[in-house]
Amino acid sequence: MLRKHSMSDTSTSSVSPREIAQFDKLAAQWWDPRGPMRPLHEMNPLRTKWVNDRLAPLRAARGSDRLSLLDIGCGAGLASEAFAKFGHNVLGLDAAPDAIKAAQRHLLEHPLAENAGTLEYRNGSAEELVSEGKKFDAVTALEVIEHVTDPQAFLQLLTSLTKPGGMIAVSTMNRTLRSLAVAKIGAEYIARLLPIGTHDWKKFIKPEELSQMGRSAGLRMIDTAGMNYIPMQWRITRDTSINYIAIFARD
């Protein structure tokens, strides 16, 4: 099954305005667990916990359970809120203005608990953060890289936003015949779980390709896992043929 996420603004040159507009159209329904974002709602606890668990060595190295975390392509904030609830100080960034408004509205209507981290949202580009000299302990880009025009440049941008010794989490889809059948044709055209045209299968990235791009950007892929829909729930598996998630370390 395919999951759908927001288009991140990685760069005004690497992200298509058409894609930003497409995700903006879904902003009002983003937090509806039975709406068009249902697959993402179902997947979100799994992927955010997987990332948070792998941030444990970084928390130990920093001497704090509260990391600064940038969630690029946050959409209306599903992952951002989850990471803040884990205790991190989160900045959610997205190029889609209506999605950011939906995120801010949801946070206002559902304030975080007192023991949570902080959470802010920003409509804008990652390049703006780079130009401001912003750096974070951890950066997440979940279901984003398959929407950018230059994945290699995108990973380099993530590296620029990560403090030395920090970590970067990326989730995406593998470019296989199985993902074409299930994640593209099945999810968009048969089951109608996602709007038609949500993804371009040609932009899906194989794990070995992602690993090589990471190395070229100065990153080490230290763990990866498949995310699979096994009747009634999402589970972490070794099968990376459709959805998978990876975490990198920046030296």
Q: Which residues are annotated as a binding site?
A: 47, 73, 94, 142
Q: What is d(CA 10, CA 21) in angstroms, rounded to the nearest whole number?
A: 15
Work out the angle at residue 210's Cα, subtended by the Cα atoms of residues 204 and 211, and round it to the nearest 5 degrees. 160
Q: How many CA atoms lie within 13 A of 35 on its CB side?
A: 10
Q: What is d(CA 151, CA 148) in angstroms, rounded to the nearest whole number?
A: 6
Neighbours of 190 (CB within 10 A): 10
For residue 41 the two structure tokens come to 């709602």
Q: What is d(CA 239, CA 127) in angstroms, rounded to the nearest whole number?
A: 34
Burial label, 152 (beta-carbon count in 10 A; 0-12, 13-18, 19+): middle
Binding residues for S-adenosyl-L-methionine: 47, 73, 94, 142
Work out the angle at residue 185's Cα, subtended by the Cα atoms of residues 183 and 191, and round it to the nearest 5 degrees. 85
Q: What is d(CA 96, CA 116) in angstroms, rounded to the nearest whole number?
A: 26
Strands 68-72, 233-237: pairing kind: unpaired
Neighbours of 43 (CB within 10 A): 26
